[in-house]
Amino acid sequence: AMAMLASTYLFAYNSAMFAAWLYVLCNLAASLSSSFTSTTFEAQHPLLIPQDYLATEPKGSASRPVVPPVTWQKVSDLSFYAKTTYVKPRLIVAYRSIESLAITIQTATILETIHAILRVVRSSPANNFLQWIGRTHVIAVAATLATYVPETKQYTSAEQMPSFHALTALAVVFFWAISECIRYPWAAVKIVADSEFARNIGAIQSLNRVLTWLRYSAFVVLYPAGFLAEEALLIGCLPFAFSRKPYDIAMPNAWNFSFTYSSFLLCVLYAQPVGFF
């Protein structure tokens, strides 16, 4: 009875995660294929904004909006910043359309570590947790820094543009979503195919074989592609981690503890290739 309950739960979990990542892919495709090229937005994440500067909206018509770089003016009241609107490039708009959902889904995969701890699945809790914390850092911390901070900066031709950071974040989510839209259906179908009542049902067994082949074949392409996208995103964060220090904890403090995000980011960048191989 417990085995049946566990199988039913895992089937439901894998089916729900497949549906969630498929929804992300559909939203991403809709955003990228839509007719708009830019839109306006209100400033967000004020802690990541340089506190003595304010970006002013470039002038443009409704039919032909002006896309950043933006101009800068010094201000003393940061609260005024939050009321200012900007013109945002298409790739950033596309990333915003799926950002919150992608972060929520990735955070929810902590359940897979719990599954391993409870021995519901045969996998290492440590490996699951390390993968979860690494991916959650990429999407919830690094992608936020890379895609929000550049929007508040005036770029020259020699500097990376905001759209590049949005592109790397989109690439990460895209490769993750494609991978999970293969992995989760494979896991769900495998549960059914291994059950007593489906062992002699040819259609289910054939689907299981096709998904198994697709899972391990696609992995050869999607895993390195996702790894390179993550590395590009993290490298893009470095200039802003060094200059803005958004997540740093300086001494002295009540905990007698300091943290430098740029140093942490460098450690991650050096460690990830080791994990890849």
Q: Give tens-digit pLDDT for 140-164.
A: 988 887 776 544 454 433 334 556 7
Tell me how far apart the alpha carbons of residues 150 and 142 are, in angstroms, rounded to a whole number.
12
Q: What is the mean pLDDT of the chain?
A: 77
Q: Which of 55, 63, 60 is closest to 35 using CA atoms?
A: 63
Structure tokens at 270: 């050096």
So what's the pLDDT on residue 89?
A: 58
β-strand pairing of 85-89 with 38-42: antiparallel
**Mean per-residue pLDDT for 203-207?**
89
Q: Which residues of 83-103 are buried (b: 16+ CB within 10 A; e: fewer)?
A: eeebbbbbbbbbbbbbbebbb
The answer to whether the CB of 88 falls within 8 A of the CB of 39 is yes
β-strand pairing of 85-89 with 53-56: unpaired
The answer to whether the CB of 90 falls within 8 A of the CB of 37 is yes
Tell me how far apart the alpha carbons of residues 41 and 82 are, in angstroms, rounded to a whole number.
10
Query: Quick one: how far is CA 185 from the chain centroid?
Result: 21
Name the DSSP letter for residue 259. B
Answer whether residue 55 shows pLDDT above 50: no
Please give the share of the chain, as a percent, with pLDDT higher than 70: 72
Query: Model-level pTM?
Result: 0.76
Residues 6+ apart with CB under 8 A from 215: 182, 183, 186
**Mean per-residue pLDDT for 192-207?**
84
The answer to whether the CB of 175 falls within 8 A of the CB of 139 is no
Amino acid residing at 100 = S
Structure tokens at 109: 């995969």
Tell me how far apart the alpha carbons of residues 242 and 149 are, in angstroms, rounded to a whole number.
12
pLDDT band at residue 251 under the 50/70/90 scheme: confident
pLDDT band at residue 196 under the 50/70/90 scheme: confident
Task: Decide which of 131 and 46 is more confident.
Answer: 131
Q: Tell me the pLDDT tens digit for each residue of 15-45.
A: 999 999 999 999 998 888 764 444 443 344 3
Q: Tell me the pLDDT tens digit for each residue of 252-265.
A: 888 888 899 989 99
